[in-house]
Structure 1
């Protein structure tokens, strides 16, 4: 698959990931996190805000791979 096509697909997937992650994090935070103590709330909010970077980074790594030479 050419890099240009991977970048197009990856961009769409990255946007979908961010939207899905944000909506899921909001639903989780409103339902469960508000019942925790302040320190656990802080930990949850930091994790929910930062963990999307792992799948996003893997997706970007896949997008940036060079084309295979024939």
Structure 2
């Protein structure tokens, strides 16, 4: 499923106009092709170093505090 937002909006709209009696029934019509779980835990130190490097690429971003 490449457009999860579109599917969700369609399910809500269909429920609102009576295509399905409730959201639970609507969601039974959709089955994800695969499920993606988070991988490695966040390495905050590595993230901070990458952010510092990225700030050098665009000087205007250096003033921002993430």
Check whether TM > 0.5.
no
Give the helix-richer structure, 1 or 2: 1
TM-score w.r.t. the length of structure 1 is: 0.30
The TM-score with structure 2 as length reference comes to 0.31
Instruction: Pick the structure with greater CA Rg.
Output: 2
Higher relative contact order (CA 8 A, sep 6+): 1
